[in-house]
Chains A and B, each alone.
Chain A
Amino acid sequence: MTQATEATVVQREERKLVEGCRRGDFDCFERLMARYEKKIYNLALRMLRDPDDAHEILQETFLKVYDNLEKFRGEAQMSTWIYRIAMNEALMRIRKDKHRPRSLEIVDEDGERREIDVADWKPRPVDRALTKELGGELDRAVALLPEDYRGAFLLRDIEGLSNEQIAKAMKLSVPAVKSRIHRARVFLRNELATYFAKGRRDN
């Protein structure tokens, strides 16, 4: 099945589920929720790095989806609409929390680059501790991104949304989305280059 056909099938199935929800069939809502809850939970976890926050974002997202299903006209894809609600909840929470550590300003892309070969960019497969350490480093680096850069990067490179879908989900223009994704990628690349360079130096 081609990607386009698959997307049409998914849309058709979801339209049926929405119709079922509108008729008051809660099983249809549960099936809809089952399609997205893992994605939304993981997105929230990556945005906020806190399981309790992720739980709350997940719940608030689906309460809003439930309450607003009548308004969903199907012009946007269901996934874009749900991501939009979830992202909005996550961004609101981050911006409201004054105690949350401030993310860094994105510096000039050439500012912190180190000489390193891509061949050095992998943990030794036998060393689980190092893999865990790399995971921690990836989480740390992404948390340093300003929240809208982080959101755009996660939606694009982890969730696989198109720039247009992200623009709708984050209420940004497509050029603004592209710029955030580009700068986020460069920033993360530079952070990891520093990490791997340090690892090589220590060995």
Chain B
Amino acid sequence: MTTKREKICNTPECRRMRALLSDFIDHALHWRTARSLEAHLAACPPCRCYVATIERTIVLYRERPVVDVPLAVRGHLREVLRERHESAPKKRAGRCCAGKETMRRATAGVAKTKKLAGKA
């Protein structure tokens, strides 16, 4: 069984609604424009549904859980940064650039952590 195509309204007002949709959702429109779109929404169920589902989409993404940075990653990050800090303490006072050697060691560190994570 196939799903019915959504009823797409195609009046000039509906097209205008769709063109200004993101600004409307973000409250970035002049109040007069926003009010005219609200009036259109009140009279146009397909547009109302469309706006509601776009808003719902954003809410669903916002509700996705935020992941904690794994402890091993946090620890390794600090280790790498501290190493860089200690390897270039004098440069920090003037211009801070730890150079390629620290970058190489840092990259090697990521590989090491991956290996450890793999073993665990």
Q: Contacts A58-B77, A66-B96 hold; do A24 and B89 have CB atoms under 8 A apart?
A: yes
* Cα(A23)–Cα(B95), bound, Å: 11
Q: Who on chain B is nearest to A45 by CB?
A: B67
Q: Say which one of A26-34, A78-86, A97-105 lies at the interface with B.
A: A26-34
Tell me the bound Cα distance from A42 to B97 in angstroms: 27
Interface of chain A residues 170 through 195 with chain B (CB within 8 A): 178, 181-182, 185-186, 188-189, 192-193
Contacts of B67 in A (CB 8 A): 41-42, 45
Q: Mark B86-118, 1 if CB is under 8 A from A, else 0.
A: 000100110111100011001001100110010
Is A168 interfacial (CB 8 A cutoff)?
A: no
B65 (CB) vs chain A CBs: closest residue: A135
Residues of A within 8 A of B66 (CB): 38, 42
State the CA gap A181–B25 with chains docked (Å): 12
Could you tell me the dominant secondary structure of chain A's interface residues?
Answer: helix
Q: How large is the interface on A (under 10, 10 to 19, 20 to 34, 35 or more residues)?
A: 35 or more
**Given A33-B77, A114-B3, A189-B54, CB of A109 within 8 Å of CB of B64:** no
Docked CA distance A181–B85 (Å): 38
Which residues of the partner chain B approach A13 to less than 8 Å between Cβ atoms? none
A197 at the A/B interface (Cβ < 8 Å)?
Answer: yes
> B113–A55 contact, CB under 8 A?
yes
Q: In the complex, A115 Cα to B102 Cα: how many Å?
A: 56
Q: Residue B44 at the A interface, CB < 8 A?
A: no
Contacts of B95 in A (CB 8 A): 70
Shortest C-beta distance, B2 to chain A (Å), equals 9
A114 and B60 contact, CB distance less than 8 A: no
- On whether the beta carbons of B96 and A69 are closer than 8 Å, the reply is yes
Q: Which residue of A22, A51, A113, A178 is within 8 Å of B23 (Cβ)?
A: A178
Q: A2-10, A87-95, A116-124: which lies at the B interface?
A: A116-124
A193→B53 contact, CB < 8 A = yes
Which of B54, B95, B102, B106 has most A Cβ within 10 Å? B54
A73 within 8 A of B: no
Check if B5 is an interface residue, CB within 8 A of chain A: yes
**In the assembled complex, A67 has its CB within 8 A of some CB on chain B:** yes
What 7 pairs between A and B have smallest CB-CB spacing?
A182-B22, A113-B6, A118-B52, A115-B6, A189-B57, A41-B69, A24-B92
The chain A residues found within 8 Å of chain B, CB to CB, are 21-24, 26, 29-30, 33, 37-38, 41-42, 45, 51-52, 55-56, 58-59, 62-63, 66-70, 109-110, 113-118, 121, 134-135, 138, 142, 157-158, 178, 181-182, 185-186, 188-189, 192-193, 197-198, 201
Q: Could you jot down 26 A-B contacts, CB within 8 Å?
A: A24-B85, A26-B82, A26-B85, A33-B78, A42-B66, A51-B70, A55-B114, A58-B73, A59-B106, A62-B81, A63-B84, A66-B96, A66-B98, A68-B96, A113-B5, A115-B3, A115-B7, A118-B53, A121-B56, A138-B60, A157-B58, A178-B23, A185-B22, A189-B53, A189-B54, A193-B6
